[in-house]
Structure 1
Amino acid sequence: MDVIKAIRERRSIRKYKSKEVSEESLSIILQAGRWAPSSANKQPWHFIVVRDPNLRGRLADAHAHGRFMKESPAVIVVLGDPQKDPRYCLADPHNAVQNMLLAAYNLGISTCWMGVRDTAIEPAFRKILKIPDELRVICSVAVGYGDEERTSSRYPLDEIVSWETFGNKSK
């Protein structure tokens, strides 16, 4: 896989075909998450794979911007574990998510990342999936075969990069 090409071309997809994602493909995606970098290699994450249509529907109903989770064949809910790393348990799981998004893209599988942490959605996800209080619900990732094409744009580098000190545009 050309990683730079994958980073540029991968898009968040919100319409999915009914085709199931194989356990083998899900395993590859989860393995990619498992191999993500983390502070001091503490790996403060846990993943819940939700394939049950009833559970996916309940998650979708709880997430105002995630109604499409009802249609995606799988949802991966990403948790942070403060017992493994209280300082970076909210940040490091995002490294795992990015790896999973790129691995899925490489397999021809579409995804859509959705924030959950520190929103009214978190308690609902916690209740639906029986998540222990000591874990943090970070985000969810819809996984499936896309049924739409999407494009995206990005700010030019000169608008988002400073050199040496904030606001300095001179290299």
Structure 2
Amino acid sequence: MEATEAIEKWRSIRKYKTEPVPDGALRKTLDAGRKAPSWENVQPWHFIAVDDEGLKQKLVKLSRGQKFIASAPVVIAVCGDVGAWDKPRNREALLKATAEVVDNLLLKDPVFCVAEHGPSIILARTMEQLGIAYGFMCVEAVNHGLGCCIVGAFGNEMTGSLRQLYDEVRADLALPERVYLLALLTIGIPDEQPPARPRKNFDSVVSKNKYGNPL
């Protein structure tokens, strides 16, 4: 399947068949996330494939009762590593540039160096990069005949809610101190064919040279 076709077929799927996700398809979906581009190649992510029923039930509670999460054969816990932006680790990712450029520009200029900003900007940049990765995973999942749904409404660092339960889930996932659970991706064989949801027309979201100028 071509990427364009997979994008055209995209639907958020919340009903899944009980049969397991083929291991090969799951691995290729996760690998698509691994191969996604990221700012200065920091790759601030870690993906955990969850099929433990008890843990999935906790994720339902953490998401204020979104029961379809537990019905998915696999839930990918999309985790962001905010420590990836620390200067020593960022420097390691940038070593293809000359040391002088890295040390004097890329690690000091706030335009390039996310670590020059506060925790809220670092968290936002991390979330931005994760969005690219799970977007890649969604397209690859469709390519293998799978359905998925992105879940962002649950207790975590972004929402600041359900802290006690979130800490329990973090412990269950064995997340390091600066690795946060920032999104969920339910995945399975679709058991529904929902209609396409409306999208804005092309000319309303695309311009040339300046806002509102038709392409």
Which one of 119, 136, 139 corresponds to residue 183 of structure 2? 139
**Aligned-partner residue type, residue 128 of structure 1:** V
State the distance in 2 between where 1:103 and 1:122 align.
Answer: 32
Structure 2 counterpart of 1:79: 79
2:168 matched to which residue of 1? Answer: 127
Deviation at 1:99, TM superposition (A): 1.1
TM-fit CA distance, 1:19? 0.6
Q: Contact between 1:73 and 1:144, CA under 8 Å: does it hold in 2?
A: yes
For the 8 Å contact 1:6–1:106, the answer to whether it is kept is yes
Distance 1:37 1:126 in 2: 30
Q: Is the 8 A contact 2:78 2:130 kept in 1?
A: yes
Aligned pairs for 1:24-35 (under 5 A) are 24-35=24-35
Contact 1:47 1:76 in 2 (8 A): yes
CA shift at 1:65, angstroms? Answer: 6.4
- How does the TM-score come out when normalised to structure 1? 0.89
Check 1:127–1:77 CA distance in 2 against 1; reply closer, same or farther (3 A cut): same
Higher Cα Rg, which structure: 2
The secondary structure found in structure 1 opposite 2:48 is strand
Counterpart position of 2:46: 46
| Separation (CA, whole Å) in 2 of partners of 1:58 and 1:39 | 32
- Aligned residue number for residue 99 of structure 1: 136
Distance change >3 Å, CA 69–CA 81, structure 1 → 2: same
Which runs of no fewer than 5 residues in structure 2 stay unpaired? Answer: 86-114, 116-121
Tell me how far 1:46 sits from its aligned partner: 0.6
Residue 201 (structure 2) aligns with: 156
User: Which one of the candidate residues 121, 145, 151 is aligned to 1:114?
Assistant: 151
Once the two structures are TM-superposed, the CA of residue 120 in structure 1 deviates from its matched residue by 4.7
Task: State the Cα distance separating 1:136 from its structure 2 match.
Answer: 2.6
Q: CA deviation at 1:60?
A: 1.1
Amino acid across the alignment from 1:154: R
How much identity, in percent, do the aligned residues show? 31
Q: Judging changes above 3 Å, is the alpha-carbon distance between structure 1 residues 120 and 145 closer, same or farther for their aligned structure 2 residues?
A: farther
Residue 206 of structure 2 contacts residue 214 of structure 2 at CA under 8 Å; is this kept in 1? no
Equivalent in the alignment of 2:111: none
Which segments of 5 or more consecutive residues in structure 1 lack a partner in the other structure?
Answer: none
Cα separation, partners in 2 of 1:170 and 1:25, compared to 1, 3 Å: closer
Q: Is the 8 A contact 1:108 1:145 kept in 2?
A: yes
Cα deviation for residue 13 of structure 1 reads 0.3
What CA distance in whole angstroms lies between the structure 2 residues aligned with 1:11 and 1:65?
A: 21
Q: Choose between structure 1 and 2: higher helix proportion.
A: 2
SS at match of 2:49: strand
